[in-house]
Amino acid sequence: MKLSQLAFKVAKDAPANADTINHKLLVQAGYVRQLMAGVYTYTPLGLKVLRNIENIVRKEMDAIGGQEILMPALHPKANWLTTGGWDNIDVLFKLKSRTDRDYALGQSHEEIVTPLAKELINSYKDLPLALYQIQWKYRDELRSKSGILRGREFFMKDMYSFHENQADFEKFYEKVKAAYLKIFKEMGLTAKVTEASGGSFTEKISYEFMVLTDAGEDDIFYCDSCDYCVNQEIAKVKEGDACPICGAPLKAARAAEVGNVFDLGQKFAKDFELTFANKNGEKQYPIMGCYGIGISRTMGVIVEKYHDDRGIIWPKAVSPFAAHVVALNGAEEYAIKIYETLKENGVSALLDDRAQSAGNKFAAADLLGIPVRLVISPRNEKLIEWKKRDQEEIELIDLNTVLTKLKTS
Amino acid sequence: MKLSQLAFKVAKDAPANADTINHKLLVQAGYVRQLMAGVYTYTPLGLKVLRNIENIVRKEMDAIGGQEILMPALHPKANWLTTGGWDNIDVLFKLKSRTDRDYALGQSHEEIVTPLAKELINSYKDLPLALYQIQWKYRDELRSKSGILRGREFFMKDMYSFHENQADFEKFYEKVKAAYLKIFKEMGLTAKVTEASGGSFTEKISYEFMVLTDAGEDDIFYCDSCDYCVNQEIAKVKEGDACPICGAPLKAARAAEVGNVFDLGQKFAKDFELTFANKNGEKQYPIMGCYGIGISRTMGVIVEKYHDDRGIIWPKAVSPFAAHVVALNGAEEYAIKIYETLKENGVSALLDDRAQSAGNKFAAADLLGIPVRLVISPRNEKLIEWKKRDQEEIELIDLNTVLTKLKTS
């Protein structure tokens, strides 16, 4: 992609209304535009990041046997009445057709996936079953700030699993947990598995995957010596208390939830009369689990974690491009050749071919945050200036070395 | 993908409430499930078809210089008040937040893209500009039947272009028209470019891309000897009249609209005060065009065109898999080997490894409609039965010939 042809430009200044780093940097660099609080447009560059995150999540959900489907966002009222959600979930958007039919906008999909599963599950042989989707969700939030961390319209992966018994659910939960930690690690995030309350419909404990950041909306107590972590909402400990696992003193921190797991028990199966015949031929309700990852929120959390005062520093796995080629005055032709060669070698690249000063181009590269910057300058003849976004050292290397380093680093 | 592991099964019978072929076959084969009239869930197989269509469309939109973005579905009322759409568009879904803010659900995105373009367009040098998205749309239809042909929630590509003058718009329209015809041809559809009315806000003529099918909701007059085609809604001719271009007698037919083009003139630019400085430095409103392709509808139209009394016959470009491998009793191991070899050679394949009779497996293959069926039978030793879904002949060939034929046919 050539920067000269991209409609959305990097801006000199941050937006005036930005209250968080992700909002400020994502708008200034041209990744998103705010339509209203909690509702954003993704530009061509922003869409690339979103799709990269989506694809990392999809790969791991497929790997643990999830079957990808796509459920609608427009739901009939009847499904939400059946579970009590119509009257009890305050963030549920409701609307009427002009012929007075009532609909809800999906803020989660238990109400759709459970009746769908009735057709798929008849016997214990049909279990376990895991269906997932990656789709936009709608929540009538009272306040929606923090950039793309808390959206009224947001992109989410939600998986629903169905099990013969509690032990099988817990076995699958361990698989999901391992997949989640792998996903977040690939994106450069260390997620803490945190005990939390079970939400609207269950007394059970749920697990949240928390990333430490001051931009988060949760407070947690965690232990540095072991994996213990608990949301302050349900904590029976306080900062400085001995960790209930290992005895080390607990720390307090602000955190953002990037994923969650709910043990739904038999609540939804009972509501929709979803049963299966067990090994003795008796009818039984399956145990359900629900597993979310906020795709758009994760994009925001990555920016909160990976930036400096000059701009974003994308982890390689989610970066819109692998390399940012800067063409300096007098080296335009050679820069295009480098850019084309990178593409031919399967390296995604952004070319800054704008008629701008070197200083402006370097500032844009820092703001956009692509992991590797390659400067093509007439004073270096055929050599290329290699600089990583998160380091200050510059190396002068030839094209073959650039290709090798891009493929191996 | 292995059929034994797929949660959604082919059904013996068509759904009782299906009023069209696409609804009947897509549900029976397990590509979609109806949540309510006009609102569907896509299963893993259905999602593959939808993504194939989406990717064909994306490729051609990129090729003519479209920049892909993603705008929200939740819109502020103010934008729709500005254009008059809030009060005049009867299919616009409206909703309120719990704090009494009014929103609309996007049924088209002129109201969002025009203010967005204000930031991008300052001078004639910023023109032409074409932004597009592929996204779910919402329409409060009075009646929604015909399977996925007319959805209340439907998947659409919508592009918006901005031009210095009418001539430049018309030049770009010709590019879009060529891209559209190429897209539909690749999917096996012959689309007729049809004169139609301009919709809610313009006196101008629009163009619809129409595919002849009895499942359609439009009536057209067309000429077999030249390209003339007109929607009966605005026609000044009737069946049997002389074609105004070439004089041949006009025919009448039922048709489904798979794409459209609107000349929006300066209507939206004026509503949102979107101007640019022309070559003389004077402020001017750009001319806008809008270009749609119904992705989910096109999936339905393809089924209406490509089926027989045994099931769907997917054109290769949109088929969920390139080959359908049927393992007969006693050849299971060799079938898995064939299936794995196809995948290693980059051929997407579905393996019917269910414990079912040969007859049931053949019926499933016909219903699912994958273009090539490969039967692995113990009586053929290492040879494979090759059959195309749209032909009756069966050839007995070896694996290398199968691979060559799959790559070249």
One DSSP character per residue, A230-277 reads EETTT-S--TTSBPTTT-PBPEEEEEEEEEEEEEEETHHHHHTT--EE
Would you say residue B60 has pLDDT above 90? yes
For CA atoms B9, B11, B17, B19, give the dihedral sign: positive
Give DSSP secondary structure letters for B81-119. HHHTHHHH-TT--EEE-TT--EEEE-SS-HHHHHHHHHH
**pLDDT recorded at residue B143:** 87
Per DSSP, B300 falls in state H
Interface A–B counts its CB contacts (< 8 A) at: 103
Interface test with B, best of A74, A113, A132 (most B CBs within 10 A): A74
Residue A162's beta-bridge partner residues?
Answer: A129, A288
Residue A47 forms contact with B (CB below 8 Å): yes
- pLDDT at residue B331 greater than cutoff 80: yes
Per the model's pLDDT, the better-predicted residue between B104 and B407 turns out to be B104
Chain centroid to Cα A342, Å, comes to 28
CA-to-CA separations, B246 to B222, B239, B252, in angstroms, rounded: 11, 15, 16
Tell whether B95 is within 8 A of chain A (Cβ).
Answer: yes
Amino acid at B364: A
- Alpha-carbon A28 to chain mean position: 20
Mutate to test the interface with A, among B32, B36, B112, B155 (most CBs of A within 10 A): B36
Tokens matching residue A382? 């055929």
CA-based nearest residue in chain A for residue B76: A36
Q: Check: CB of residue B180 under 8 Å from CB of residue B132.
A: no
Residue B90 near chain A (CB below 8 Å): yes
Chain B contact set for A74 (CB, 8 A): 39, 138, 152-153
Residues of chain A with C-beta less than 8 angstroms from the C-beta of B33: 116, 119
- Pairing outcome for strands A94-96 and A129-138: unpaired
The pLDDT score that the predictor gives to residue A201 is 54
Query: Does residue A225 carry a pLDDT above 90?
Result: yes
Which residues in chain B are closer than 8 Å to A47, comparing Cβ atoms? Answer: 68-70
Per CB-CB distance under 8 Å, the chain A contacts of B36 are 76
Residues of chain A with C-beta less than 8 angstroms from the C-beta of B116: 33, 41
The answer, yes or no, to whether residue A250 has pLDDT greater than 60, is yes
Other Cβ atoms within 10 Å of A198 Cβ, number? 16
What pLDDT does residue B201 have?
A: 53
Contact B140 A97 (CB under 8 A): yes
Average pLDDT value over all residues in chain B: 96
Closest to A79 in 3D by CA, of B53, B35, B371:
B35
Closest-approach residue (CA) in chain B for A143:
B99
Model confidence at B203: pLDDT above 80: no
> Please, which pLDDT band fits residue A203 given cuts at 50, 70 and 90?
low
For residue A143, what pLDDT is reported? 87
DSSP strands (E only) in B197-296? 206-212, 218-222, 229-231, 251-265, 276-277, 283-284, 287-294
pLDDT for res A197:
79
CB contact under 8 A, A8 and B120: yes
- % of chain B with per-residue pLDDT over 70: 98
Q: Does B8 touch chain A (CB under 8 A)?
A: yes
Dig out the tokens for B189 from the structure.
Answer: 């559809």
Kindly report the CA angle at B365 between B362 and B369, in degrees rounded to 5?
145
How far apart (Å, rounded) are the C-alpha atoms in residues B214 and B233?
17
Q: To probe the interface with B, which of A95, A120, A138, A160 has the most B CB atoms within 10 Å?
A: A95
Buried b / exposed e along A111-129 (16+ C-beta atoms within 10 A):
bbbbbbbeebbeebebbbb
Residues of A in contact with B40 (CB under 8 A): 72
A68, A116, A140: residue with CB nearest B33 = A116
B223: number of Cβ within 10 Å: 22
Q: How confident is the model at residue B274 (pLDDT cuts 50, 70, 90)?
A: very high
* SS3 of residue A209 by DSSP: strand
Joined tokens for residue A194:
């945190």
Closest Cα in chain B, distance from residue A340 (Å):
17
Task: State the Cα–Cα distance between residues B298 and B211, nearest whole angstrom.
Answer: 9
Give B241's contacts (C-beta < 8 A, 6+ positions apart). Answer: B221, B249, B250
Residue B150 DSSP one-character state: S
pLDDT tens-digit map of B238-262 = 999 999 999 999 999 999 999 999 9
Radius of gyration, alpha carbons of chain A: 24
pLDDT of residue B258: 97
d(CA B251, CA B265): 32
Mean per-residue pLDDT, B311-329: 97
Give the DSSP H or E segment for B154.
strand B153-163
**Contact A73/B at CB under 8 A:** yes
Model confidence at A388, in pLDDT bands (50, 70, 90)? very high
User: pLDDT, tens digit, for every residue of B140-198?
Assistant: 999 888 899 999 999 999 999 999 999 999 999 999 999 999 999 999 999 999 988 76
Dump pLDDT digits (tens) for B8-39.
999 999 998 898 999 999 999 999 999 999 99
Given a contact cutoff of 8 angstroms between Cβ atoms, the answer to whether A222 and A137 are in contact is no
In the predicted structure, residue B398 carries a pLDDT above the cut 60: yes
The pTM (predicted TM-score) of the whole model is 0.97
Residue A292: pLDDT band with limits 50, 70, 90: very high
Residues B255, B218 contacting (CB under 8 angstroms): yes
Spatial contact of B114 and B144, defined as CB atoms under 8 Å apart: no
Question: From CA B211, how far away is CA B256, in angstroms rounded?
Answer: 5
**pLDDT at res. B17:** 86
User: What are the respective helix, strand and coil percentages of chain B, to the nearest 5?
Assistant: 35, 30, 40
Using a pLDDT cut of 90, give the percent of chain B over it: 94
Q: List the single residue in A with minimal CA-CA distance to B111.
A: A35
Rounded distance between C-alpha atoms, residue B241 and residue B250, angstroms:
6
- Band the pLDDT of A101: cuts 50, 70, 90: very high
- Position A17 scores a pLDDT of 86
Name the 3-class secondary structure at B267.
helix
pLDDT of A67 reads 98
Task: Report pLDDT for B54.
Answer: 98
**In order of start, what are the domains of chain A with their CATH numbers?**
3-308 (3.30.930.10), 321-408 (3.40.50.800)
pLDDT at A202 over 60: no
Taking alpha carbons only, the member of A265, A30, A104 closest to residue B95 is A104
Closest CA to A69 of B322, B320, B97, B41: B41
Q: Which of residues 137-176 of B touch A (CB under 8 A)?
A: 138, 140, 142, 152-153
Q: What tokens were used for A63?
A: 């790997």
* Residue range A107-119, pLDDT digits in tens: 999 999 999 999 9
Mean pLDDT of B271-291: 98
Q: Do B74 and A6 touch (CB under 8 A)?
A: no
C-alpha–C-alpha distance, residues A4 and B65, integer Å: 13
Instruction: For residue B155, report the phi and psi dihedrals to the nearest 5 degrees.
Output: -100, 130
Partners of residue A35 in chain B, C-beta under 8 Å: 71-72, 75-76, 112
Is the bond preceding B115 in cis, omega lying within 30 degrees of 0?
A: no
User: How far is Cα B180 from Cα B193, in angstroms, rounded to an integer?
Assistant: 10
Q: Which of B41, B105, B140 sits opposite A116 (nearest CB)?
A: B41
B336 has pLDDT over 90: yes
Q: What's the pLDDT tens digit per position in A50-75?
A: 999 999 999 999 999 999 999 999 99
B7 → closest Cβ in A131, A136, A153: A131
Indicate the length of chain B as a whole number. 409
Half-sphere exposure of B44 (CA within 13 A, CB side): 20
Helix pair angle (A44-63, A295-305), 10° resolution: 110
- Above 70 in pLDDT, residue A356? yes
